[in-house]
Amino acid sequence: QDLILPNGGTPAGTSSPASSSSLLNRLQLDDDIDGETRDLFVTVDDPKKHVCTMETYITYRITTKSTRVEFDLPEYSVRRRYQDFDWLRNKLEESQPTHLIPPLPEKFVVKGVVDRFSEEFVETRRKALDKFLKRITDHPVLSFNEHFNVFLTAKDLNAYKKQGMALLSRVGESVKQVTGGYKLRSRPLEFAAIGDYLDTFALKLGTIDRIAQRIIKEEIEYLVELREYGPVYSTWSALEGELAEPLEGVSACIGHCSTALEELTDDMTEDFLPVLREYILYSDSMKSVLKKRDQVQAEYEAKLEAVALRKEDRPKVPADVEKCQDRMECFNADLKADMERWQSSKRQDFRQLLMGMADKNIQYYEKVM
Amino acid sequence: MTENNFGLKKIEISVSEAEKRTGRNAMNMQETYTAYLIETRSVEHTDGQSVLTDSLWRRYSEFELLRNYLLVYYPHVVVPPLPEKRAEFVWHKLSADNMDPDFVERRRIGLENFLLRVASHPILCRDKIFYLFLTQEGNWKETVNETGFQLKADSRLKALNATFRVKNPDKRFTELKHYSDELQSVISHLLRVRARVADRLYGVYKVHGNYGRVFSEWSAIEKEMGDGLQSAGHHMDVYASSIDDILEDEEHYADQLKEYLFYAEALRAVCRKHELMQYDLEMAAQDLASKKQQCEELATGTVRTFSLKGMTTKLFGQETPEQREARIKVLEEQINEGEQQLKSKNLEGREFVKNAWADIERFKEQKNHDLKEALISYAVMQISMCKKGIQVWTNAKECFSKM
């Protein structure tokens, strides 16, 4: 379970596993391999705490191995903090608005409830960040994004960030979003279907998240009672002669059960819940991409209408309207491709996740027996 | 059902049914109660066939009457306890209602168990009233009351007094009393916590049932994942509902523990009887000693102890030698009587200790055997629960793998 496996398979296929059983899964997915071998491997590990005068924060080591021409060296190792990931994601959203960008783990943590520097929290976050980068790596377009490249390779990211800000102010982004003004009359069926799907999906996941949390809570309360239950048998055994041994035995078994249960709840909290949350965040970001797509289409349709109203007899459509059309069609295509990819990787993820959950429960019962 | 020697025949006893009845109570008010059918079968040695010899209906209060009678007439026996009058140590699913069918059923089993224990006790099984309880439906209550056993019962106050004042009880009884106090306290604690544990476990299983519903709803919007999710959801439902049977089985274990919780009280009753007898003995010995002293004083003329006679003598003058002689004679008679009594009390006391201790040893063995079995069956229950859990999750896992 501690193996940080590089991605096998293809960009279109699997996402990062956390267990070795998924290695088998990926090798079995022959239908997804299209002959390409992977040429980019990214890993997030080694969290370290940095204490400075102004603040304390954690950095993670990012290791990159690649044979791609875009990379000058075959191997890189840099340190990044959460802020940097956040920056990367924003950049990707800006520069590739027609694509689905994977979500980051939540930025803000309720102070007092969770300790930002606790081992569990840092580990959960590290896993999520690792997943984030691996998803980008898997993506045929996003993985070639220049911001991504810089993120993986630059010694001094901050310098690049500042540079990027300056550039932005001078040259507008080529595929900048249309802000307001255009309202879409009706979403084409297939995108409406995606929208509906995402709504229901996020809803169901939310419910599952709540159920899982409730189960963990009940299990913890059960654990509390078990912890009182076991010792009573010990007390009793002290009173008895012949029965002392069996009673003590029962007490020990119950203690055993308690430990196994604790492991189960810990595992579920660490491995199961974060994945659910990630997908909920993913759905949210996907929905906003859909909205952007709607915007683009709306702009196109509005311009088209404007042209029609001008009643010009030209068979040729003006250039800017054409551009709009192109944009819209690009968007649609990218989105569709991404959706397909997302669906299949989601399927993989959930399959693994739920199997993992089943596995954990099975292990729990085996230990308790 | 077990067999035992009852006179010369082997009999089998069972409490086979329970029925709700309405009737009028002592104050002529309508009440609802449950009656239990007791069936007695005699087993012929030769062919092993059992023949129904008696069958009658009794209610809980009659069982109580029987037990109280046995307590009075056999104070040296650890008398088996009755199942609880009201449901205690419940966890949320079971109602504390005496009319609840689950409670009635468990009580039926408890009452049967009580009768079987009495029937298999070497001393108690020979009791006439017990025999009549099984065979004579009408008039049994009157028969019992005619024995006048209530009058023979030791008053609570007397017993309490003896417990505090006794000077020299048999050490074994004192230890036994401590043991039974602690046993009672530990089993109570155990049952309370077990009820809470059961409650929590119930919660854990039931919430999993929600997965069933959500998976089903989710599967509706999925294409390839749909079937896997749907069937996995079904397994979650199975998991959630399996807890009901599991906890019902556990109730049986709890009942076994409860029996011994109540047995602790029976143990204490025997100890109390010993203390009472011992105290009685001590008082009698003390009384005899003081009478002897009085006599001696009268005879020798020295007054060492305070006495009313002494006072009045001082005030009103000496008594005549005839008067003194008369008093000495009375005292001597009393001393004789007292010595006889003390002898018989001593004998009684020793008999009691011997018999009681014999029964206590028998009880200890029974307890060790029964509780060991109870613990083993509890462990078996747990293992079976785990196996079921593994089964369900393995099935679910398979469904997930098909997603």
The confidence score (pLDDT) of residue A251 equals 86
Query: How confident is the model over A53-63, as a mean pLDDT?
Result: 86
Q: Which residues of A touch B393 (CB under 8 A)?
A: 358-359, 361-362, 365
Residue from B67, B275, B85, B255 nearest B171 by CA: B275
Query: How confident is the model over B77-83, as a mean pLDDT?
Result: 91
Q: Name residue A49's beta-bridge partners.
A: A58
Total residues belonging to chain A: 369
Q: Would you say residue B160 has pLDDT above 80?
A: yes
The confidence score (pLDDT) of residue B2 equals 43
CB contact under 8 Å between A211 and B214, yes or no, is: yes
Q: Would you say residue B1 has pLDDT above 60?
A: no
CB contact under 8 Å between B197 and A222, yes or no, is: yes
The confidence score (pLDDT) of residue B82 equals 92
For A311, residues 6+ apart whose C-beta sits below 8 A from its C-beta are none
Cα three-residue angle A112-A113-A119, rounded to 5 degrees: 100
CA dihedral B68, B69, B75, B79 (to 10 degrees): -60
Q: Which residues of A touch B92 (CB under 8 A)?
A: none
Q: What integer best gives the mean pLDDT of chain B?
A: 83
Q: What integer best gives the mean pLDDT of chain A?
A: 74
> In the structure encoding, which two tokens stand for residue A14, read together?
């699997």
Closest chain A C-alpha to B208 CA, distance in angstroms: 7
> In the structure encoding, which two tokens stand for residue A65, read together?
């191995």
CB contact under 8 Å between A201 and B218, yes or no, is: yes
Q: How far is CA A199 from CA A57, A211, A276, A338, B259, in A?
A: 35, 19, 15, 17, 57
The neighbour count for residue A120, using CB atoms within 10 Å, is 12
Q: How many CB pairs under 8 A join A and B?
A: 124
pTM over 0.90: no
Assess contact for B38 and B56: CB atoms under 8 A. Answer: yes
pLDDT tens-digit readout, A331-356: 777 777 777 767 766 766 776 677 76
The neighbour count for residue B90, using CB atoms within 10 Å, is 18
Please enumerate, as own/partner, the contacts of B129-134 that have beta carbons within 8 Å and a separation of 24 or more.
Answer: B129/B66, B129/B69, B129/B70, B130/B66, B130/B70, B131/B6, B133/B58, B133/B62, B133/B66, B134/B13, B134/B38, B134/B40, B134/B54, B134/B56
Q: Would you say residue A117 has pLDDT above 60?
A: yes
Closest chain A C-alpha to B229 CA, distance in angstroms: 9
CATH number of A38-158: 3.30.1520.10
Q: How far is CA A86 from CA A91, A92, A221, B207, B306, in A?
A: 9, 10, 37, 36, 103
The confidence score (pLDDT) of residue A140 equals 81
Residue from B196, B352, B215 nearest A354 by CA: B215
The confidence score (pLDDT) of residue A321 equals 66
Q: How far is CA B278 from CA B270, B283, B286, B360, in A?
A: 12, 9, 12, 18
Closest chain B C-alpha to A282 CA, distance in angstroms: 17
Q: How do A40-51 and B3-6 pair as beta strands? A: unpaired
Assess contact for B41 and B53: CB atoms under 8 A. Answer: yes
* Whole-number Å distance between alpha carbons of A2 and B174: 61
Out of A211, A222, A246, whose CB is closest to B200? Answer: A222
Q: Would you say residue A299 has pLDDT above 70?
A: yes
Q: Name residue A154's beta-bridge partners.
A: none
The confidence score (pLDDT) of residue A23 equals 44
Total residues belonging to chain B: 403
Q: Which sequence spans correspond to the domains of chain A?
A: 38-158, 183-283+338-368
Assess contact for A167 and A150: CB atoms under 8 A. Answer: no
> In the structure encoding, which two tokens stand for residue B303, read together?
């007054």
pLDDT tens-digit readout, B45-73: 666 667 777 888 888 889 999 999 998 88
For B140, residues 6+ apart whose C-beta sits below 8 A from its C-beta are B62, B132, B133
Query: How confident is the model over A203-224, as a mean pLDDT?
Result: 88
Instruction: Name the H helices within B149-225.
Output: 149-152, 156-165, 171-221
Q: Would you say residue A177 has pLDDT above 50?
A: no
Q: How far is CA B200 from CA A31, A340, B213, B346, in A?
A: 46, 43, 21, 56
* Whole-number Å distance between alpha carbons of B242 and B236: 10
pLDDT tens-digit readout, B335-364: 888 888 889 989 988 999 999 999 999 999
Assess contact for B342 and B283: CB atoms under 8 A. Answer: no
Q: What is the DSSP letter of A177?
A: P
pLDDT tens-digit readout, A76-104: 888 888 888 888 888 888 888 777 888 88
Q: Would you say residue B104 has pLDDT above 90?
A: no
Q: What is the ipTM of this complex?
A: 0.81
